[in-house]
Amino acid sequence: MGSQILVLFDPDEYAAWGGLLSTYAQMDRAVDVDLRERDGITHTEFEVLLRLRYAPEGRMRIQELAERSILTRSGTSRLVNRLELAGLIAREEVPGDGRGTYALLTPAGETLFDAAAARHIAFVREHFHARLDADDIAALGRIWAKLAR
């Protein structure tokens, strides 16, 4: 099966795409383990807290969270439910929109995120950035920006 994929991709394409997928999977698992052990949250929970921490007024529509996440809309909704039960976020109705709901950080969510973020940055620097030189990091930043367009 692997050789059939190589027929479809030239070796550089395979290395680029396969490298992205492999590195993402490896880093995602490592980050998830670290966040669970040190902060009691998953990588996806951290991502939601991060988005809310830096959103205007610390809140976003749940639908917008789903659009910016790797989770499905129902997966995001279940995640928001877990974070709400843990007291890390709250829900708020969107004024004038009977169906719209905001997710917003609670003070406890803000405190947890701020502590986890400091450790997370150190973890990423140690396990990702330390393997690269400054040129590599700058090149990846340019590549991700180009691909995000």
Q: Identify which of 58, 61, 63 has the alpha carbon closest to the alpha carbon of residue 107.
A: 58
Q: What is the pLDDT of residue 46?
A: 96
* CA–CA separation, 76 and 45 (whole Å): 9
Residue 4: the pLDDT is: 60
Tell me the pTM.
0.85
Q: Which two tokens stand for residue 37?
A: 């052990």
Q: What is the pLDDT of residue 68?
A: 86
| Residue 127 near residue 27 (C-beta atoms within 8 A) | yes
Burial of 80 (0-12, 13-18, 19+ CB in 10 A): buried
Q: What is the pLDDT of residue 71?
A: 81
CA distances from 141 to 56, 65, 93, 98, 134 (A): 24, 23, 37, 40, 11
Supply the pLDDT for residue 50.
95
Delineate the domains of the chain, giving CATH numbers in brackets: 2-148 (1.10.10.10)
* Phi-psi category of residue 40: left, alpha or beta, with phi > 0 → left and psi -120 to 50 → alpha: left
The two tokens of residue 117 are 């973020």
Predicted local distance difference test score (pLDDT) of residue 27: 95
Residue numbers in the chain where pLDDT is lower than 70:
1-7
